[in-house]
């Protein structure tokens, strides 16, 4: 007799996922949801208003909204870590976003896994980070790994540079053993490495100080007191992950995450005047918006001690113009190079 769990596990691995686990869908995530509510109550979500929407929040806990009659959540993880590929703009972009936008390819693979589950005579719903789901909590419940002090899911043997996906199903499958206890010991490398000191304490990140939030999700002017600490980060930040011992020596993920050729050709100065669709096409950087990426580019130029181009100083967005003026007058460096050099 074919073991259904192993059948699904083998299918997931054949699709390119690096880890697979099973969790009970009918056991509430009460403790995790309480932490989520405390996060929102403290207004740490900043401009991410959707996180405070009560209806969406409840959907993160309500299994029948995820899939009526769901009994199991199949959790999968795919590694995106690639080292030594930081030419041009790529070095200013978080590793997960250097290649093609992962949403399309990952969604396709999760859908293929869900379709396979349906062939076993059950209902199945594919999900990923676009769905209102507490992904990391389910991944821990499914035994994929544990939460590190930086709040990231760490998959032993794979690391924390992973993308997650889920399939909710009516199949009643035995769960994998969960060991949620963190294994970081006395290590605080991730907390110490944060350029903007965004960690309130171990396991608690204040996104309003996080470079990833500031450069991707925030649409406002970045607080002046944090700009120098942003350094040369244009889109996202990997600092708390690159120093993590669990990410050491993991090699390269598949070519999907290889930096796009355009990052070798584009300069920071191009982000103020080049066609946005040309820059963002097929890339996850589109989430930052043209205005947001231009704002970030101005700050990076200032931190490099370079003057922004006239296109930045006369940009149609007041947020970009203000960042460009800051870069011109307050940029870090021994000197600010004159415009036009």
| Burial bucket for residue 118 (CB in 10 Å: 0-12, 13-18, 19+) | middle
Mean pLDDT of 276-295: 96
3-state secondary structure the chain: CCCHHHHHHHHHHHCCCCEEEEEECCCCCHHHHHHHHHHHHCCCCCCCHHHHCHHHHHHCCCHHHHCCCCCEEEEEEEECCCCCCCCHHHHHECHHHCCCCHHHHHHHHHHHHHHHHHCCCCCEEEECCCCCCCHHHHHHHCCCCEECCCCCEEECCCECCEEEEEEEECCCCCCCCCCCCCCCCCCCHHHHHCCCCCEEECCEECHHHCHHHHHHHCCCCCCHHHHHHHCCCCECCCHHHHCCHHHCCCCCCCHHHCCCCHHHHCCHHHHHCCCHHHHHCCCHHHHHHHHHHHHHHHHHHHHCCECCCHHHHCCCCHHHHHHHHHHHHHCCCCCCECCCC
Q: How confident is the model at residue 341 (pLDDT cuts 50, 70, 90)?
A: very low
Q: How confident is the model at residue 59 (pLDDT cuts 50, 70, 90)?
A: low
Q: Is residue 325 over pLDDT 90? A: yes
Nearest partner of 74 among 11, 29, 150, judged by Cα = 11
List pLDDT tens digits, range 181-239. 778 999 999 999 999 999 999 999 999 999 999 999 999 999 999 999 999 999 999 99
Q: Is residue 330 over pLDDT 50? A: yes
Q: Is residue 338 over pLDDT 50? A: no
Q: Is residue 63 over pLDDT 80? A: no
pLDDT given for residue 333 in this prediction: 46
- Contacts of residue 292, Cβ cutoff 8 Å, sequence gap at least 6: 215, 216, 218, 219
Q: Is residue 337 over pLDDT 60? A: no
pLDDT given for residue 41 in this prediction: 85
Q: What span, in angstroms and rounded, lies between the C-alpha atoms of 263 and 97? A: 11
Phi/psi at 79 (nearest 5 deg)? -80, 140
Per the prediction, the chain carries an average pLDDT of 90
Pairing assessment for the beta strands 124-127 and 199-201 based on DSSP bridges: unpaired
List pLDDT tens digits, range 242-271. 999 999 876 666 777 889 999 999 999 999
Q: Is residue 336 over pLDDT 50? A: no
pLDDT given for residue 250 in this prediction: 63
pTM over 0.85, yes/no:
yes
Nearest partner of 24 among 156, 171, 132, 131, judged by Cα = 171
- What does each C-alpha distance from 105 to 89, 102, 187, 216, 283 come to in angstroms? 23, 6, 35, 21, 12
Domains belonging to the chain, first-starting first, are 4-169 (3.40.109), 189-330 (no CATH)
192 included as an active-site residue: no
Which carries the bigger pLDDT value, residue 328 or residue 53?
Answer: 328
Mean pLDDT of 134-155: 94
Establish how many alpha carbons lie within 13 A of residue 87's alpha carbon, considering only the half-sphere containing its beta carbon: 10
pLDDT given for residue 84 in this prediction: 67
Q: What percent of the chain has pLDDT over 70?
A: 91
CA angle 267, 268, 273 (to 5 degrees): 90
Which carries the bigger pLDDT value, residue 218 or residue 83?
Answer: 218
And the tokens for 313? 């100083």
pLDDT given for residue 293 in this prediction: 98
Q: What span, in angstroms and rounded, lies between the C-alpha atoms of 166 and 175? A: 14
Least confident of 33-47, 132-146, 296-310, 312-326: 33-47
pLDDT given for residue 331 in this prediction: 59
pLDDT given for residue 36 in this prediction: 82
Q: What span, in angstroms and rounded, lies between the C-alpha atoms of 168 and 155? A: 21
Mean pLDDT of 297-309: 96
- What does each C-alpha distance from 2 to 169, 180, 316 come to in angstroms? 18, 30, 62
- What does each C-alpha distance from 57 to 31, 32, 54, 261 come to in angstroms? 14, 12, 5, 39
And the tokens for 154? 């760490």
List pLDDT tens digits, range 116-129. 999 999 999 999 98
And the tokens for 48? 């991410």
pLDDT given for residue 64 in this prediction: 67
Q: Of these residues, 3, 32, 41, 129, which one is catalytic?
A: 129
């Amino acid at each position: 007799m074919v073991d259904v769990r192993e059948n699904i596990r083998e299918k997931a691995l054949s699709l390119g996922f690096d880890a697979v686990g099973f969790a009970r869908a009918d056991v509430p995530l009460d403790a995790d949801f309480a932490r989520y509510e405390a996060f929102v109550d403290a207004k740490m979500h900043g401009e991410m208003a959707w996180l405070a929407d009560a209806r969406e929040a409840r959907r993160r806990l309500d299994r029948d909204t995820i899939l009526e009659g769901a009994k199991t959540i199949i959790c999968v993880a795919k590694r995106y870590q690639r080292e030594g590929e930081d030419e041009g703009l790529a070095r200013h972009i978080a590793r997960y976003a250097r290649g093609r936008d992962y949403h399309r390819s990952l969604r396709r693979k999760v859908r293929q896994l869900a379709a396979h589950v349906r062939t076993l005579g059950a209902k199945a719903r594919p999900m990923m980070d676009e769905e209102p789901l507490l992904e990391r909590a389910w991944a821990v419940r499914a035994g994929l790994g544990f939460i590190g002090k930086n709040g990231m899911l760490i998959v032993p043997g794979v690391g924390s540079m992973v993308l997650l996906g889920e399939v909710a199903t009516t199949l009643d499958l035995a769960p994998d053993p969960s060991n949620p206890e963190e294994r970081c010991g006395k290590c605080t490398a991730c907390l110490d490495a944060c350029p903007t000191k965004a960690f309130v304490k171990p396991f608690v990140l204040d996104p309003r100080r996080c470079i990833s939030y500031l450069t991707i999700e925030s649409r406002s002017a970045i607080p002046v007191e944090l700009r120098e600490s942003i350094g040369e980060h244009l889109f996202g930040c990997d600092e708390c992950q690159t120093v993590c011992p669990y990410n050491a020596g993991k090699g390269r993920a598949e070519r999907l995450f290889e930096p796009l050729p355009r990052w070798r050709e584009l300069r920071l100065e191009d982000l103020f005047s080049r066609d946005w669709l040309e820059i963002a096409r097929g890339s996850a950087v589109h989430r930052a918006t043209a205005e947001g990426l231009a704002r970030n580019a101005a700050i990076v130029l200032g931190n490099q001690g370079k003057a922004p181009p006239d296109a930045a100083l006369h940009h149609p967005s007041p947020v970009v113009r203000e960042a460009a003026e800051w870069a011109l007058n307050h940029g870090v460096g021994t000197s600010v190079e004159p415009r036009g050099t």
